[in-house]
Amino acid sequence: MTRSKRTTARTYEGPATDDASWLAALSGVEGVASVEERGHDELEAVYYDTEDLRLVGASATLRRTAGGTDAGWHLELPMPGDSREGVSAPLSEVVPDTLRDLAVSRVREAELKPVVRIRSARRLRHLLDSVGTVLAELSLDEVRAKSLRSTTTRVSWTEIEVAFADDVDSSLLDRVDEALGEEGIRRTGHSSKLAHALEETGAGVPHVPGTRRETVVTGSAADEVLRYVDQQARTMVDIDPAVRRDLPDAVHKMRVTCRRLRSTLRSYRSVLDREVTDPIREELKWLGGELGAARDQEVLAERLGSRIRALPRELLLGRVEARLQEWNVTHTTEAHQRALDTLRSPRYLKLLNSLTALAEQPPLARKAEHSPEKVMVKAILKEYERLANRVAHALELSPGTERDEALHLARKAAKKTRYATEPARATLGKPARRLGKRVKGVQKVLGEHQDSVVARPALRDLALQAHATHEPSFTWGLLYGQEQAIGDRCERELPDAWARAAKPHLHL
């Protein structure tokens, strides 16, 4: 059993332990009515990491804690800004499989070993508002750290950590920060106690994933493309734990990341050698496909559920809502298990390693050192031309299965064109953003059409299941008709959406 908690915290260099004068300044912070003493704790934590310190290099930590109220295993993962998500598991002798699973996108096949032991004498205080609500926890820690890679290296320091409640106005963080600054108390330069201990004990230099070798010319086409590729590769690593925990929209985000990477590696083959990137593209296609069942089910269930909720009650004949829920539970469980099996496979870890190698040892092609403007304009317009041909072909066809497939292919081409503009936005500016926005409008129409195409067979199956158990199938037929009408509407809207994207002034 694991528990998760999001925290927003800032850490400061601690004052002398016998100096408490700075606390008075916090009572004067707007919104803080008082600072209340909450006692003392003696804490001990053993931090685990790989031999090359991959976790701390990725701003994550794993520790086994004894003492205090949070005894157990704690995996902390970075989030935007000063926030972190902590996932906890009960105390045990070895790293729990659940936490090892959530760390695997960062540690890969490497073994997790004890690296540092940290003992802290903690004085805890609460920052309260006028009605006694806890706004933040402030801890003053006297820290003693020992490297477990050496029998002699020990260090000590004091630090202040201010952890804020989730629903606290973010401006309070800055007001507390300012008040401490006026007392001469500054933010620490370390991301965690572990990072501080590693530096002070000389226990090792963390491996920062994706650190590029000095083979890429700054400001070149390769530099711009690789910056975007690196960003997407990091996104995949970051979103991995959320997919494993089946958090909302996580699968969708990972699939979109797969598409962005695939499209970028395809569109900019003149910059990155396709002999290296084409196999990676194939593996990204595989991963997206394996995750597809979970995402498609999520989208379809949400779509059908919203359609049912919008119907007048008198049109819901039979066990409509119950049947949809039963159908969704069955398919969702199967889809999530397939996603888990995929993320636990050696093939997936090999793909992550390939993306890391792509960042660290980029396979530069003939136009890698060229200026990005010409290279990117040519790549984007090439994708745009493919899109134009797909749309023209689809519009020439009569309504039916063949046209549905052609529109689906046009939708994929629209995504590729839009994704091709994304690495270029820093270089090309407004024209790239504008074209991406217009093409997204085409993609939206085509996406709504495709969703209606996918929904119809599912509705037919649900109608047949209802009929087989002597339930009315009227509602399922009604929903089928709605989806058919939506598809027809999208086909009528496509020419105008395409005309807006095809205006000559939008071309780069």
Mean pLDDT score, 65-85: 84
pLDDT in tens, 79-120: 877 778 889 999 898 999 999 999 999 999 999 999 999 999
Beta strand 134-147 with 61-66 is unpaired
Provide the pLDDT for residue 203. 73
Count Cα neighbours of 63 within 13 Å in the Cβ-side half-sphere.
24
Conformation bin of residue 202: beta by default, left when phi > 0, alpha when psi is -120 to 50: left
Q: Name the residue with higher pLDDT: 332 or 467.
A: 467
pLDDT at 251 over 80: yes
pLDDT confidence bin for 253, thresholds 50/70/90: very high
Provide the pLDDT for residue 17. 57
Q: Are 285 and 266 in contact (CB under 8 A)?
A: no
Kindly report the CA angle at 122 between 134 and 157, in degrees rounded to 5?
A: 125
Least confident of 34-43, 373-382, 459-468: 34-43
Provide the pLDDT for residue 496. 93
Provide the pLDDT for residue 506. 45
pLDDT confidence bin for 214, thresholds 50/70/90: low
Cα–Cα distance for residue pair 204/150, rounded to 1 Å = 11
Provide the pLDDT for residue 486. 96
Mean pLDDT score, 330-340: 86
Provide the pLDDT for residue 437. 93
Provide the pLDDT for residue 331. 82
Mean pLDDT score, 247-274: 94
* Nearest residue to 235 (alpha-carbon basis) of 255, 263, 220: 255
With a CB cutoff of 8 Å and minimum separation 6, the contacts of 432 are 376, 380, 421, 422, 424, 425, 508
**Maximum alpha-carbon separation in the chain:** 83
pLDDT at 423 over 60: yes
Q: Are 508 and 438 in contact (CB under 8 A)?
A: no
79 membership: H or E segment, kind and range: none
Residue 379 CB-density burial (10 A; 0-12 exposed, 13-18 middle, 19+ buried): buried
Q: Name the residue with higher pLDDT: 466 or 335.
A: 466
Q: Three-state SS for 391?
A: helix
Provide the pLDDT for residue 248. 86
pLDDT at 15 over 60: yes
% residues pLDDT > 90 (the chain): 60
Least confident of 76-90, 127-141, 203-217, 254-268: 203-217
Most confident of 40-49, 299-308, 320-329, 413-422: 413-422
Cα–Cα distance for residue pair 112/452, rounded to 1 Å = 47
Instruction: Specify the DSSP class assigned to residue 21.
Output: T
Cα–Cα distance for residue pair 2/103, rounded to 1 Å = 14
Give the mean pLDDT of the chain: 89
pLDDT confidence bin for 270, thresholds 50/70/90: very high
This prediction's pTM: 0.85
% residues pLDDT > 70 (the chain): 96
Provide the pLDDT for residue 256. 94
